[in-house]
Structure 1
Amino acid sequence: MLSDTHPAGPGAAMRSDEDFVRAQTGIAPVPFVPEVRLHMAEDAIALWETTETARGERGLPPPFWAFAWAGGVGVARYVLDHPELVAGRSVLDLAAGSGLVGIAAALRGARSVRAAEIDAYAVAAIGVNAAANGVRVDAAVEDLLDGDGGPAEVVLAGDVFYERAMAARFLPFLLRARARGAVVIVGDPGRAYLPRERFAALAAYEVPVVADLEDAALKTTTVWELAGD
């Protein structure tokens, strides 16, 4: 259902959301991943409050779409440095946020990139960010976690193990994706709920982050591949 702040019709709603994203952010290269330019905000709390005012709602999720989070930066860096992972393959960017990971895959020759999010502002941000980088990423508001991510050949998740309840939904999804033959790659900056025994480390980076979001200037971020049975 559309918010009362939107003009009538899904196309008008998307344009309104895209206008909001552009108005609340500035475009710049991503630190540590300068090949990608994103619309990013400077102040998370101020943007969060502005988002709730624009929607006329309280208790909305944080504006994950307006920042380059460490887990996503790590996966994007790995994809850019290892194009063979995605070149010529169908890719799913799960809980895509800004679309950073999916954009990196598209830049390195993925046959198709699908980005899934549950936040309409995130889907709008993915659209404007993909356009800014001259690539196509098909983004939609959808919760895929009861499925297996098919038919994507590669499933990428930037940072999804930061809450117990989230981890309890994401892990079974990723296991189902791996069981049907997908390559599953996860970026994680030391979150508490990543079951490390199920993953193999591929790379580790010192990723610059927004200190107000992470209480640090750098986060050690590991890129993991989900192991098969």
Structure 2
Amino acid sequence: MNSRSAAGQLSTISFIMFRTTLFPRTMLVAVSSTRGRMLCTTAKGSKLRHQIQQHTEVSRDHLTPEIALHLITPSCELWKCKDQAQVPFSDPYWAFYWPGGQAVARYLLDNPKTVCGFHVLDVGSGSGACAIAAAKAGAQSVTANDIDPVAGEAILLNCSLNQVNVNVSLNDMIGKTCFEWDIILLGDVLYDTEFAQRLQPWIKSLQNAGKTIFVGDPGRHAMNVIPEGNLQLLATYSLPPQTNLENRGFSTAFVWKIL
């Protein structure tokens, strides 16, 4: 769940450093049921959705052009913003399409039998892209999970944009059994070694319970928390130039299955 070039004023390196400082990647994963915590009240939710639409643009400039997403792009004011006080969101990580999520979504769209007919949980869903891909691939049910209510509203907007039905949960699922789901998607969740170490026992318990777990990541150091023998590499994708720019120069993303 990590970074972003302000065309013109900032160099690529200085912008990426600024993006990471202004919008640090935080611990945003969750879920316990398809209902979960309530999303915002109608009035507040409507205001959030309006803000999201106002400060993002609909983009297909990524690995999964079949999926349209509300994203912060170089043409958006927030892309060039240097003052946190001018940002209406505490951390709009959900407005960026992280490389591991792109890889997982691409893999599901290219291999629909992977999820077709199964119950799928997308943990740390962010924009909801992986959940949307699972729905498009024919999953029996899909739950997009994130603990940030703003992300929940962004997911609803993106699902509507792509005309798919996805449940949204805001509950923290780390350590839970996830008995409702057959398949767990983890796109960019292992972004930090300390957090990955916290997740590893939970991931192992899910695997022992017979869950199928897919991990997407561009190869961050935190992936070393999972023993190499427990990972089956399923796919390797070259990332689009814009995604490279947004993610500290990562040019490739991978999809693994937990063994």
- Residue pair 2:72, 2:79 contacting (<8 A) in 1 also: no
Q: Determine which of 137, 148, 156 is the counterpart of 2:185.
A: 156
Q: List aligned pairs for 1:57-72, cutoff 5 A.
A: 60=90, 62-72=91-101
Q: How far does the alpha carbon of each residue in 1:94-117 deviate from its partner, in whole angstroms, 9 at most, with x for none?
A: 000100000000001111110111
In the other structure, the counterpart of 1:89 is 118
Q: How far does the alpha carbon of each residue in 1:131-168 deviate from its partner, in whole angstroms, 9 at most, with x for none?
A: 00000111122211021322110101111111122212
How far residue 126 of structure 1 moved from its aligned partner, in angstroms, is 0.5
Q: How far does the alpha carbon of each residue in 1:21-68 deviate from its partner, in whole angstroms, 9 at most, with x for none?
A: 11111112141211111011125665695687536xxxx4x3221011
Identity of aligned residues (%): 33
In the other structure, the counterpart of 1:54 is 88
Provide the TM-score with structure 2 as the length reference: 0.76
Q: Runs of 5+ in structure 2 lacking a partner?
A: 1-39
Structure 1 pair 30/123, CA: closer, same or farther in 2 (3 Å)? Answer: farther
Structure 1 pair 133/179, CA: closer, same or farther in 2 (3 Å)? Answer: same
Counterpart AA for 1:135: V
Q: Determine which of 211, 232, 235 is the counterpart of 1:200.
A: 232
Structure 1 pair 212/111, CA: closer, same or farther in 2 (3 Å)? Answer: same
Rounded to whole Å, the distance in 2 between the matches of 1:192 and 1:121 is 29
Matched, 1:220 2:249: no
Structure 1 pair 89/124, CA: closer, same or farther in 2 (3 Å)? Answer: same
Q: Determine which of 73, 98, 107 is the counterpart of 1:42.
A: 73
Q: Runs of 5+ in structure 1 lacking a partner?
A: 1-8
In the other structure, the counterpart of 2:50 is 19
Q: How far does the alpha carbon of each residue in 1:164-204 deviate from its partner, in whole angstroms, 9 at most, with x for none?
A: 22212322222222111111000010111112512111111
Rounded to whole Å, the distance in 1 between the matches of 2:196 and 2:86 is 26
Q: Determine which of 188, 210, 215 is the counterpart of 2:243.
A: 210
Q: Kindly indicate which of the two structures has a greater share of residues assigned to strand.
A: 1
